[in-house]
Amino acid sequence: MTGQAATMTPDDRYRRYQDLQRYVGWTDDDARHVGSVVDLLDPHLAPLVDDFYAEVERHPDARRVMTGGPDQVARLKGTLLAWLRELLSGPYDREYVERRWRVGWRHVEIGLDQVYTNTALSRLRRGLLDALDRAWAGDAAAVAPARRSLNTLLDLDLAIIEDAYQAEYLNRRRRAERMAAIGQVGGGVAHELRNPLNVIKTSVYYLLNARNPTPDKTAEHLRRIEQHVALADGVITALSDFARMPVPDLEPVAVRSVVEEAVEVNPLPAAVRVAYEWPPDLPPVLADPDQLRIVFANLVRNAREAMPAGGTLTFVGRAAGGQVEVTVADTGVGIPAEHLGRVMEPLYTTKARGIGLGLALARAILDKNRGALGVASRPGEGTAFTVRLTAAAG
């Protein structure tokens, strides 16, 4: 339940308070018991408040948040007095809970360590109970219900304050996770972009400075620049595609040509042999061709990185029960079983290069294109990804 604290509305908080009331067995009788000692306790509240701030003064970590001098202390004494009076008289309705929650939240905002609100409440509790005992003229047993109800009431108020701290804790954790993710993506993108940029820089340097550039050499460098601009563009496109994946525009697509194009655009080293097995009657699939291109481009790049020493990349197409499957199998390093379940998670990568978006992106695209991505691997032997797509009718 506390997991929701960060996103709770006033109504949620009130419902939660009522639930906690039921949990501790709080009833209207408890409210009456507390109400019956309001007048008795009232003259003792101001000294209690004085004692409260005197104690704050004695603890440097608590005192630290009191930045407004004597004026602030005087004002806070007034607010604490009002807080105590409302505690004793209620009513314990939605507005009560909301006001208490805001007081708790104020302490979170000023950076007061939670232990001080806890111990300060404990000190208030002792003060209130001692005052009650002293002021009570009758027999001790008769005051027991008021004592018990007062204790329960303070516990409920403490729960509200703790919720405020919990909400902040969850917010902070969420922010930290987001920052970590941004750092990770940023680092990965920087790494991925630096490579093509370095190649481009080298080629530009050649073109600007070569004494007698042959037309062949010039053309080669221009091609390299073009190729690496495309690579850098691909990194950025993958990221923005991931951040804002458009709704696919489904149409019949010849998967074979998409695959062969992906291989062409993402060249493989000479040491990697490419083999295709396309049945002649492979039906077209229903997909967004632009998005499907991203899927296969990522699988080709992934295979290329899995086979640094070369190998074979095999594409096998197969039609089965209204679906078309394309298996993309490499003979690379393979993926250890402990990573296999996670390789399609965003930002999960086992490679020195790469930001861990490629496979996650492929899976996200296939999900939206009525398809799926499967993976099987044997470390040392290779990995096979299976792209499943819906066959286009007719």
Cβ contact 373:366 at 8 Å: yes
> Which amino acid is residue 350, in one-letter code?
T
Helix, coil or strand: residue 6: helix
Give the list of residues 6+ apart from residue 86 with CB closer than 8 angstroms, or none. Answer: 96, 99
Comparison of 75 and 172: residue with beta carbon closer to ligand HEM = 75
Rg of the chain over Cα atoms, rounded to whole angstroms, equals: 34
Which backbone phi and psi does 351 adopt, to 5 degrees?
-100, 155
Q: Which of 65, 170, 265, 282 binds ligand HEM (CB under 6 A)?
A: 65
Report in angstroms how near the CB of residue 154 gets to ligand HEM at its nearest: 9
Comparison of 61 and 381: residue with beta carbon closer to ligand HEM = 61
Task: Centre a 10 Å sphere on the Cβ of residue 380 and count the other Cβ atoms it contains.
Answer: 10
Report in angstroms how near the CB of residue 248 gets to ligand HEM at its nearest: 51
Q: Which of 112, 131, 344, 359 binds ligand HEM (CB under 6 A)?
A: 112
Comparison of 13 and 301: residue with beta carbon closer to ligand HEM = 13
Asked if 115 interacts with ligand HEM (CB under 6 A), we say: no
Give the list of residues 6+ apart from residue 214 with CB closer than 8 angstroms, or none. Answer: none
Q: Which of 80, 258, 307, 389 binds ligand HEM (CB under 6 A)?
A: 80
Asked if 204 interacts with ligand HEM (CB under 6 A), we say: no
Report in angstroms how near the CB of residue 11 gets to ligand HEM at its nearest: 21
Q: Which of 34, 62, 294, 326 binds ligand HEM (CB under 6 A)?
A: 62
Comparison of 106 and 175: residue with beta carbon closer to ligand HEM = 106
Report in angstroms how near the CB of residue 100 gets to ligand HEM at its nearest: 8
Asked if 20 interacts with ligand HEM (CB under 6 A), we say: no
Instruction: Please state whether the peptide bond connecting residue 91 to the residue before it is cis, i.e. omega within 30 degrees of 0.
Output: yes
Report in angstroms how near the CB of residue 84 gets to ligand HEM at its nearest: 8
Q: Which of 21, 26, 117, 331 binds ligand HEM (CB under 6 A)?
A: 117
Comparison of 83 and 278: residue with beta carbon closer to ligand HEM = 83
The site that binds ligand HEM (CB under 6 A) totals a number of residues, namely: 19
Can you tell me the distance from the alpha carbon of 308 to that of 31, in angstroms, rounded to the nearest whole number?
Answer: 74
Q: Which of 49, 56, 131, 150 binds ligand HEM (CB under 6 A)?
A: 56
Asked if 72 interacts with ligand HEM (CB under 6 A), we say: yes
Report in angstroms how near the CB of residue 34 gets to ligand HEM at its nearest: 16
Contact code string over 87-106 relative to ligand HEM, x by CB under 6 A: ----------------x--x
Q: In what order do the strands lie in the sheet with 323-329?
A: 272-277, 311-320, 323-329, 382-390, 372-378
Can you tell me the distance from the alpha carbon of 242 to that of 355, in angstroms, rounded to the nearest whole number?
Answer: 12
Cβ contact 161:121 at 8 Å: yes
Can you tell me the distance from the alpha carbon of 127 to that of 44, in angstroms, rounded to the nearest whole number?
Answer: 9
Comparison of 110 and 230: residue with beta carbon closer to ligand HEM = 110
Can you tell me the distance from the alpha carbon of 162 to that of 156, in angstroms, rounded to the nearest whole number?
Answer: 10
Which letter, b or e, does each residue of 183-206 get, where b requires 16 or more Cβ atoms within 10 Å of its Cβ? Answer: ebbeebbeebbeebeebbeebeeb
Task: Centre a 10 Å sphere on the Cβ of residue 254 and count the other Cβ atoms it contains.
Answer: 15
Comparison of 79 and 257: residue with beta carbon closer to ligand HEM = 79
Sites of contact with ligand HEM (CB under 6 A): 56, 62, 65-66, 68, 72, 76, 79-80, 83, 103, 106-107, 110, 112, 116-117, 120-121
